Structure 1
């Protein structure tokens, strides 16, 4: 699903992003609800909320978070959860272009540049996200894998 957003994004480079597990839900610009999973676009990037097999709600946040040092780890591993992130040059053909028609994807385009995008896509055992910063030529990609759900 493609969403054109009316608000400027709060994070302006890959270096502004922080990672957190367990934060409360932040105000979302748009939410895609899927069984056991919510993909959430924020003005400061993304949140994903999922429900474990035990019924526990878990929250992953990758965003510009006031009061937190901007630090996006390359990897986080714990039982049943694995997160990885990369920062690369923004490619000429963005990887989220084909996601607009995917019912398990949410693509938010921020004003000012058609490549100012945060995209999320649910997968069988987790999700992937893309955060594009055309002003700095950076693309942040994250991948999250869940164990038993």
Structure 2
């Protein structure tokens, strides 16, 4: 996302439903009335940048604002939207694979460019890039993600969370493939002009 952390202050009447059946709050009166995969989330502001994020191969209990789940053969992916970033958990026949990228007061900031771990006969590969963009460049990137989410409401493989009052502060979670299982996340921090992009892959060893 961009620069927010905390519990969801808005109602969550249908978060027990699968993503395909959830209703997303419309961003403006001009947006299409049909269901989309854009969630407008109200959370307290915290001044977060890429330099304050921490990556860990774990899945601690943290406030989950929304989520998207997909099956890929024997694997099940849960992509979770957090207050300042994301969490991915993959259930494999040999145990859980997890990654959490977030602002965490219990760990020092740590944002590696790459990480790999093995669980049984499965290997998880994580990669991360940080870009510094101009205001027009960042807004163009944000608009493209929101437009894609609107167009894919009938094929929900992309979830976009827009945070608070800043329309350019968002997190996008996307399932990019199932053979092998791959996903991508995009987090924008407009007050710093930063875009953090991560990719995750789980393949048999």
On the 8 A contact 1:53/1:148 being kept in 2, the answer is no
User: Do residues 72 (structure 1) and 115 (structure 2) align?
Assistant: no
Unaligned runs of 5+ in 2: 1-36
Q: Which of these residues, 101, 116, 125, is aligned with residue 82 of structure 1?
A: 125
On the 8 A contact 1:132/1:140 being kept in 2, the answer is yes
Residue 32 of structure 1: aligned partner: 68
On the 8 A contact 1:131/1:139 being kept in 2, the answer is yes
Supply the distance in 1 between the matched residues of 2:158 and 2:184 (Cα, whole angstroms).
Answer: 9
User: Do residues 137 (structure 1) and 193 (structure 2) align?
Assistant: yes
User: Do residues 63 (structure 1) and 102 (structure 2) align?
Assistant: yes
Indicate the SS of the match to 1:97.
helix
Number of residues paired by the alignment?
148
Which protein shows a greater Rg? 2
State the 1:9 CA deviation: 5.1
Normalised to the residue count of structure 1, the TM-score between the two structures is: 0.89
Unaligned runs of 5+ in 1: none
Residue 16 of structure 2: aligned partner: none
On the 8 A contact 1:45/1:118 being kept in 2, the answer is yes
Supply the distance in 2 between the matched residues of 1:9 and 1:47 (Cα, whole angstroms).
Answer: 19
User: Which structure has more helix as a fraction of its residues?
Assistant: 2
Residue 5 of structure 1: aligned partner: 41
Distance change >3 Å, CA 99–CA 17, structure 1 → 2: farther
User: Which structure has more strand as a fraction of its residues?
Assistant: 1
Supply the distance in 2 between the matched residues of 1:10 and 1:31 (Cα, whole angstroms).
Answer: 21
Name the Cα RMSD after superposition: 1.9
